Structure 1
Amino acid sequence: MTIDTSAPTRVRPGEIARALADDPDAWVTRVRLSNEGRWYERLHRDEEYEVWLISWLPGQSTGLHDHGGSRGAFAVALGSLEERDLGASRTLGPGELREFGAEHVHEVRNTSAAPAVSVHVYSPPLSTMRRFELTTEGELIQLVEEEAEQW
């Protein structure tokens, strides 16, 4: 898939994520696996949105986090991932998509026995990300705020 950046459009993160996840020729040779943590590479960034390719080994997780006011989506390209937000947990397999708004807090993790690959799209591009912990009473506590330059 080639991302057309020639004309401004109303960005639809879900459409971009799904189209790219469904086109492995556009990314499969870039994927790396890392025992140290999730591997990720930014595939595209402009003023409207950015696209990330992420690989996950079994047990790897994001921890609870937000997207600094960006809305977004991710599509599973290979394997399966579990998403946990403050209300529910769901497992997504190849071709499945999860879209979310600017205030969404979630954790994504690979709970399977095999590697997984996903495509993530954020609009506008991420500038910050806050990491959280959930107390046993269900209270969300901010641990840290990261700036985009830290990734």
Structure 2
Amino acid sequence: MTVSTPMPARTRLAETVGALAADPGAWVRRVRLSPDGRWYERLHRDEDHEIWLISWLPGQATGLHDHGGSRGAFAVALGDLEERDLGGARQVAAGQTREFGPEYVHEVRNTSTAPAVSIHVYSPPLAEMNRYDLTESGLVRLAVERADQW
């Protein structure tokens, strides 16, 4: 008898966005660029997870935030992004995936001179996100955004 073990949620999420990012035919015609801020569109939502497509012009950023208790992953599909967390900053190039747990705080930004596109997945679907500032005393929560605000 063969018993299959479910894949850990974080690994499954990273594989999902990695596969989708590698298949531009599934999303490239939906991408829009906005000089007013990051453009985003939800591609999928069910009880288990949701998937977002985001485009970034040079200089656009998320600001420090968490995902309200959801696990997640993102893959850069086109271009390059920089991710900064409390441990430092790293470049994330096209084809690379980052994954994170429910307590993760980070910022993503386009520090390049060209547009970028990324795919993001969250499980469970986002209910809220907390926005932060990093001060000498540590993280200070600035705001809570709820899903009905997106």
Please name the residue that 1:145 is paired with. Answer: 144
Please name the residue that 1:6 is paired with. Answer: none
**C-alpha deviation, 1:88, in angstroms:** 1.6
Matches within 5 A, 1:2-151: 11=9, 12-135=12-135, 137-151=136-150
What percent identity do the matched residue pairs reach?
Answer: 70
- What secondary structure sits across from 2:148 in the alignment? helix
- For each residue in 1:101-138, what CA deviation from the matched residue of structure 2 results, as whole angstroms up to 9, or x when unmatched? 00000000000000000000000000000000001x15
TM-score (norm 1): 0.92
Aligned-partner Cα distance in 1 for 2:18–2:88: 22
AA aligned to 1:45 is R
Q: Extract unaligned runs of 5+ from structure 1.
A: 1-8
AA aligned to 2:125 is P
Aligned-partner Cα distance in 2 for 1:13–1:51: 10
Please name the residue that 2:3 is paired with. Answer: none
- For each residue in 1:25-65, what CA deviation from the matched residue of structure 2 results, as whole angstroms up to 9, or x when unmatched? 00000000000000000000000000000000000000000
Q: Extract unaligned runs of 5+ from structure 2.
A: 1-5
Question: CA 1:138 to 1:97, structure 2 compared with 1: closer, same or farther past 3 Å?
Answer: farther
Aligned-partner Cα distance in 2 for 1:119–1:18: 8
AA aligned to 2:147 is A
- What secondary structure sits across from 1:99 in the alignment? strand
Aligned-partner Cα distance in 2 for 1:105–1:138: 16
Q: Which runs of 4+ in 1 moved over 6 A?
A: none
TM-score (norm 2): 0.92
- For each residue in 1:71-125, what CA deviation from the matched residue of structure 2 results, as whole angstroms up to 9, or x when unmatched? 0000000000000000121001110000000000000000000000000000000
Aligned-partner Cα distance in 2 for 1:138–1:68: 22
Aligned-partner Cα distance in 2 for 1:146–1:111: 25
AA aligned to 2:115 is P
- What secondary structure sits across from 2:77 in the alignment? strand
AA aligned to 2:140 is I
